[in-house]
Amino acid sequence: MSDQGHAADGRARYARQIRLAGFGAEAQRTLLNSHVLVIGAGGLGAPVLSYLTAAGVGRITVVDPDVVELSNLHRQVIHSEAGLGERKVDSARRHLQGLNSSIEIRTNPTLLTTDNALDLIGEADIVVDGSDNFATRYLSNDACEILGRPLVWGTILGFDGQLAVFDAAGGNATLRDLYPVVPAPGSVPDCATAGVLGPLCGSIGSAMAMETVKMLTGIGTPLINAVMVHSSLDASWERVPVGRNPARAAVTDLRDHRGDYDHLGEFDALTTEATTAAPEPTTAAPELAVAADPEAPTTNTPPNLGPAVIRWEQLEQDTVIIDIREDDEVSAGRVPGAQHLPMDALLADPEPNLAHDHVALYCRSGVRSSTAAAQLRKRGYDVSSISGGYLAYLSRG
């Protein structure tokens, strides 16, 4: 198609938003010249990617190592039954190119880690975080603060969701001001264990896409220095102010916060156990960031146990690997040679399954396996959790 033909196609495609008062052709040109990095092609990523592609964001990079499972399809609407077992980034690219073939879609089927975060984020104008674990959320937040990139953040669980825009370059609040204490792995349930209603993903993800467009084009008032809390069951939206903590040191080096990303597997494995009590999950913004009580009693781990967390490449040849995901999660694949035993069943009757010298557990991302390993080690079992779980295994190519 000629340049004139492309221009005519663009005018027709984006006509309804170009004619918006306060938007116009200039905002559309800005979108076409923008590059957005989207972390996650799942429940939140699906509406984010769809609407940014449809709106005409010129370049979109998608980061996600996961594959499409049947249990994804009730909420991850860019995937289909035909793509079961396929990498999510490939399934997403096919869907998005069918929606808008003039957009450049880049894919990266890996976990976001300290090895690649600064490079990936440095290429983008803005980052949208649709991930589902705290390690990735804090890593993307910190990398964005270091590089001066704005971050559109969202989270969902059950019937409730939250979203915010973090822009540290302007001296504004970030995730570390909203939630200063990183929740211990497993202390807040993920969607695989607590569940989530599909349309909620559309509500939060669409709002995240809108905030991204606002940040890129300069229209409206972005959700900076505030978090929006949504309860789908009563259709309420509450805006909670969030301020930059003047006492918080700026994030300047990811290595300074290595403990917050440990289960992603890019740092040396931990050899200590988490001993703080798990907080009750809630969507009320202030309560999620409760610091551990220094006077709380701790449980000592029995001596002479191996490392609590290891990476895939550290597994010994005789290590027994146990997949503790639920039955529906393993339908799309699991690590060759691994045994499958759901977490609850393992914790209820560990003895016959842990009668080996080397046992390592993995789940989807390392959160549940870290929790299970910690509980079993306190009972004297020499068990390790595999950093990053199945997603880290897929990231190895």
Alpha helices per DSSP H over the chain: 3-13, 15-18, 24-32, 45-55, 88-99, 117-122, 134-147, 175-178, 191-194, 198-217, 285-288, 343-348, 367-378, 389-395
Distance from C-alpha of 249 to C-alpha of 134, rounded to nearest angstrom:
20
DSSP tag of 196: B
Catalytically annotated residue among 146, 191, 201, 310: 191
Looking at residue 290, its amino acid is: V
Distance from C-alpha of 138 to C-alpha of 131, rounded to nearest angstrom:
10
The token duo for 58 is 């010129």
Distance from C-alpha of 42 to C-alpha of 19, rounded to nearest angstrom:
32
* Selection from 250, 246, 266 nearest residue 258 by Cα: 266
Backbone φ and ψ of 195, nearest 5°:
85, 165
363 is catalytic: yes
Catalytically annotated residue among 242, 310, 363, 376: 363
Q: Please list, in sequence order, all residues whose beta carbon lies within 8 angstroms of the beta carbon of residue 11, skipping any fewer than 6 positions away.
A: 18
CB 121 within 8 A of CB 37: yes
191 is catalytic: yes
Active site residues: 191, 363
